[in-house]
Chain A
Amino acid sequence: GAVVSQHPSWVICKSGTSVKIECRSLDFQATTMFWYRQFPKQSLMLMATSNEGSKATYEQGVEKDKFLINHASLTLSTLTVTSAHPEDSSFYICSANRDYQYYEQYFGPGTRLTVT
């Protein structure tokens, strides 16, 4: 199977600090990774699309300077929440595709961010 991991699984940080979340494809090369955000008791919303070696594409309304995405290799994408505020507290989930097979998505287990 295709396994995607996320690290950390949960993190608590103070307002104004930055936090980095990693998304790794463990047994395949991910040509594309997607980042989603889920607020409590709400649905998942796509934040951005991350392609290896190129700039991420952000969805409308997502601040690219606040949510920095880097896809440095075919197995790793990172999401950095800069100058985090309590309203950034959310569940962040990544997904990955391999070989541009967009019909098949592999989701990570998610990272729960709490900003105090």
Chain B
Amino acid sequence: AQKVTQAQTEISVVEKEDVTLDCVYETRDTTYYLFWYKQPPSGELVFLIRRNSFDEQNEISGRYSWNFQKSTSSFNFTITASQVVDSAVYFCALNPGNTGKLIFGQGTTLQVKP
């Protein structure tokens, strides 16, 4: 089965707190890509990161960081020192077998309060 699970439906934090969004995926393909997208109220998906299955290096981009662990099939996303502008729905997605067909998780709604 190919699946993406984001167990956290909603998270609420106070500004400047760190927050981690969890993502667990399932696939039997050895080649696959993982993504994180941000979806603000406008609905347009904002690309955050792409990772391929052969690159387990963690990545940091400003306040954002990602932890990819194949051993646990997880691709978690951490926002450090959260800001109100980070409030949005965040989706983790899987491109299994590099087919281009994305399988999205259920999404996590992040609310950052001032």
Contact = CB atoms under 8 A, between A and B. Distances in A.
B99 interface: yes
Contact of B45 (A32, A46, A93): A93
B98 A34 contact: no
Contacts of A42: 106-107
B100 interface: yes
Contacts of A54: none
A60 interface: no
Interface of B: 33, 35, 37, 42-45, 47, 50, 52, 91, 95, 98-107
Given A91-B43, A109-B44, A110-B43, A103 B101 contact: no
A93 B99 CA distance: 18
A43 B95 contact: no
21 contacts: A38-B43, A42-B107, A43-B91, A43-B105, A44-B91, A44-B102, A45-B104, A46-B102, A97-B100, A102-B95, A102-B98, A102-B99, A103-B33, A104-B50, A105-B100, A105-B102, A107-B47, A109-B42, A109-B43, A110-B43, A110-B45
For the residues of A in contact with B, the DSSP-based class is strand
Nearest to A33: B100
Interface string A12-55: 00000000000000000000101010100011111001000000
Contacts of A91: 43
Contact of B44 (A34, A49, A103, A107): A107
A42 B95 CA distance: 19
